[in-house]
Amino acid sequence: MRITKEYDERRNEILDTAEELFNMKGYDKCTVNDILKAVGIARGTFYYYFKSKEEVLDAIVSRYTDFVVSRTYEILKKGDISPEEKLLHAFMSMRINNQVGSNILGEMHKTENALLHQKTLNQIVTAMAPVLARIIEEGIEKKAWSCRYPLQYMRIFLASSITLTDKGIFELDADSQMKIMAALISMLEKMLDAPEDSFMQLFIKYQG
């Protein structure tokens, strides 16, 4: 007797399986037929949930965006750390290299997937900027910072920092990467009218 699965359960099963196959075989070499066989579903069932293999990849990226946002909200709730620490922890929570397979990240950096890369950047900035803005507003209330445009500044900062530190866009040596990071931290301090090197000292503390 065939068991009818709930929509979300079946959709997640397809995504989980596809992600494993993308990591094992590579996105280009993995076909829709491979996914069908691994999940044990008919082609019509697959197309009920997804229009294409590209849409599956897009959905996998969306899951990681949701994961990062959820993790950042947990940081936002913490009452035992300073606004500076909250903001730094929020930025650190955006590191998803350990969760996302190298093949998936590699696919996003390919020229033919520029639209997917752009959509991913849009997802992250759109989802994360309001959460980071709330942390900044908390810091303003506690007189730690002064900032007229928390949400807009966070959109600018996220878009620039994600782009400049993306190895798929800019090929930088270690020294250049460190200088970019130092410049971004300095820019953040100026955006928030924070004491000079306050974020840099905190960054060095957590990196050490």
* Shared-domain flag, residues 116 and 142: yes
Residue 117 and residue 19 share a domain: no
Q: Does 60 lie in the same domain as 12?
A: no
In the chain, what percentage of residues exceed pLDDT 70?
85
Per-residue pLDDT tens over the stretch 117-128? 677 778 888 999
**In terms of domains, do 45 and 69 share one?**
no
Which tens digit of pLDDT belongs to each residue from 49-107? Answer: 999 998 998 898 888 888 888 888 899 888 888 898 999 888 887 765 545 555 555 66
Predicted structure pTM score? 0.75
Measured CA to CA, the distance from residue 187 to residue 181 in angstroms comes to 10
Query: DSSP string of 119-180?
Result: HHHHHHHHHHHHHHHHHHHHHHHTTS---S-HHHHHHHHHHHHHHHT-TTT----HHHHHHH
Same domain, 128 and 202: yes
- Rounded CA gap, 33 and 13, in Å? 15
> Mind listing the pLDDT tens digit for each residue in 22-54?
878 878 889 999 999 999 999 999 999 999 998
Cα–Cα distance for residue pair 58/11, rounded to 1 Å: 13
Do 34 and 124 belong together in one domain? Answer: no
Q: What letters, b where the CB count within 10 A reaches 16 and e where it falls short, cover 55-76?
A: ebbbbbbeebbeebbebbeebe
Q: What is the pLDDT of residue 118?
A: 72
Tell me, what CATH number does 11's domain have? 1.10.10.60
- Residue 117 sits in the same domain as residue 190: yes
Can you give the pLDDT at residue 1? Answer: 36
Domain match, 6 and 21 both: yes
Query: Are 144 and 79 in a shared domain?
Result: yes
Query: Residue 182, Cβ neighbours under 10 Å: how many?
Result: 13
In the prediction, which pLDDT does 145 show?
93
CATH number at residue 67: 1.10.357.10
Task: Tell whether 115 and 168 lie within a shared domain.
Answer: yes
1: tokens are 């007797």
Number of domains the chain is built from? 2
Q: What share of the chain is helix, strand, coil (3-state, %, to 5)?
A: 70, 0, 30
163, 156 in Cβ contact below 8 A? no
Same domain as 41, residue 74: no
In terms of pLDDT, which residue wins out, 116 or 136?
A: 136
- Residue 103, pLDDT score: 55
134 and 153 housed in the same domain: yes
What pLDDT is attached to residue 19? 86
Q: Among candidates 12, 14, 5, which has minimal Cα distance to 46? A: 14
Domain that holds residue 199: 53-207
